[in-house]
């Protein structure tokens, strides 16, 4: 059996810290690009995690974070103007669906790995 390798927890903390700190410290014209980069980084980490360890929720959160990155990109270039609650609600939905389906999968299969 191959060893499952996940991106360590500190990697996720680094992306979250980047998005929160840099977004609040950068001049306002760069704020959006910080979020775009952060969402795309989170999406990439989920895709890498799924390919290396096979966690079930990564099948959902990877594309979900990619969608959030695309939304942030459209907001940053001025095509869409969504209120902050839309992004927050989408984030909560992505996490709830991803981890909820993983929980169901784990209860049926006995493991959270695909």
pLDDT value of residue 25 = 79
- The answer to whether 15 and 41 are in contact (CB under 8 A) is yes
Confidence of residue 83 (pLDDT cuts 50, 70, 90): very high
Domains in the chain: boundaries? 9-109
Residue 1 has pLDDT above 60, yes or no: no
pLDDT at 2 over 60: no
pLDDT above 90: residue 96: yes
Predicted confidence (pLDDT) per residue in 5-46, tens digit: 777 778 888 888 888 887 777 777 788 898 899 999 999 999
Q: Are 61 and 24 in contact (CB under 8 A)?
A: no
Cα angle, residue 104 at apex, residues 101 and 109 outer, rounded to 5°:
120
Residue 67 is encoded by which pair of tokens? 């969608």
């Amino acid at each position: 059996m191959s060893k499952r390798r996940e991106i360590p927890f500190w990697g996720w903390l680094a992306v979250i810290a980047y998005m929160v700190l840099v977004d609040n410290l950068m001049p306002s014209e760069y704020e959006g690009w910080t979020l775009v980069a952060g969402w795309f980084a989170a999406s990439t980490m989920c895709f890498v995690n799924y390919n290396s360890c096979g966690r079930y929720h990564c099948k959902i959160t990877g594309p979900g974070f990619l969608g959030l990155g695309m939304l942030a990109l459209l907001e940053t270039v001025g095509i869409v103007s969504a209120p902050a609650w839309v992004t927050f609600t989408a984030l909560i939905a992505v996490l709830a669906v991803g981890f909820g389906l993983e929980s169901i999968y784990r209860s049926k299969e006995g493991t959270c790995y695909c």
